[in-house]
């Protein structure tokens, strides 16, 4: 059964955040809130966690997973950003955007798009997500919590607990969070291509 953590949205309890971080380091898979909706997250090198996300969401091999990072410095360790892109991406972070970029050697091969060798990255503007990332000291391998057959991501912690109780290890509930997934911008060709319209304003990359 998944452990349920009721966390304050503005002042998340350090003890609860610490317990979730320990669970993640121990191979756990958690549902956590972001500024653009709930996400599933596990440790970067957790192959079992990756397989569990694929199974829960019924994802194919071409799905772009996302590394949710604490800040721009951390993001820069995992993707290649040239000078031309640096300013526009940095200006949009933190925020409701996911950027698809060529991965560095720090990213396990199984996370990469099989053809493009790319990965998604984002920096959330959410107090609880940021507290968890700070405690972990590394990115969370993540995917939007959108279940097969559902048209919209799950947004209520209690419902996530109810529906995924035996599939995940913890739910972090901090009340209201975003209900619309991120806007996804693919920079793998060097030019911005909007591949999903979401919470972030796409006009800055038009």
Lowest mean pLDDT across 102-111, 155-164, 173-182: 173-182
131 pLDDT more than 90: yes
Sheet holding 39-43, edge to edge: 3-6, 170-173, 30-32, 39-43, 140-144, 66-68, 118-122, 97-102, 183-186, 193-196
pLDDT, residue 115, reads 86
Work out how many domains the chain is built from and give that number: 1
Q: Please list the alpha-helical segments (H only) found in the chain.
A: 14-25, 47-57, 72-75, 83-91, 127-136, 157-164
pLDDT per residue as tens digits for the range 163-206: 999 999 999 999 988 789 999 999 998 889 999 999 999 998 87
Task: Note if the pTM is more than 0.85.
Answer: yes
pLDDT per residue as tens digits for the range 59-98: 987 888 999 999 999 999 999 998 888 888 999 999 999 9
pLDDT, residue 17, reads 98
CB atoms within 10 A of CB 22: 12
Domain of 193?
3-205
Q: What is the mean pLDDT of the chain?
A: 94
pLDDT per residue as tens digits for the range 21-53: 999 999 999 999 999 899 999 999 999 999 999
What are the angstrom distances between the C-alpha of 113 and each of 100, 120, 130, 143? 10, 9, 26, 14
Q: Is 137 left (phi over 0), alpha (psi -120 to 50) or beta?
A: left
- The CATH number of whichever domain residue 49 belongs to comes to 3.90.870.10
């Amino acid at each position: 059964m998944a452990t349920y953590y009721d966390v304050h949205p503005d002042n998340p309890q350090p003890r609860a955040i610490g317990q979730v971080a320990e669970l993640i380091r121990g191979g756990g898979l958690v549902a956590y809130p972001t500024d653009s909706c709930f996400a599933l997250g596990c440790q970067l090198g957790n192959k079992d966690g990756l397989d569990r996300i694929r199974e829960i969401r019924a994802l194919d091999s071409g799905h772009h997973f996302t590394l949710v990072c604490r800040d721009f410095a951390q993001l820069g360790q995992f993707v290649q950003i040239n000078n031309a892109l640096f300013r526009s991406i940095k200006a949009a972070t933190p925020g409701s955007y996911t950027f698809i970029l060529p991965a560095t050697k720090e990213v396990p091969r199984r996370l990469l798009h099989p053809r493009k060798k790319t990965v998604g990255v984002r920096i959330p503007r959410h107090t609880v997500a940021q507290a968890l990332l700070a405690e972990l000291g590394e990115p969370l391998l993540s995917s939007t919590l959108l279940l097969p057959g559902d048209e919209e991501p799950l947004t209520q912690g209690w419902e996530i607990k109810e529906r995924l109780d035996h599939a995940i290890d913890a739910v972090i509930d901090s009340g209201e969070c975003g209900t619309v997934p991120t806007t996804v911008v693919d920079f793998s060709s060097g030019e911005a291509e909007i591949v999903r319209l979401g919470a972030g304003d796409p006009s800055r990359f038009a």
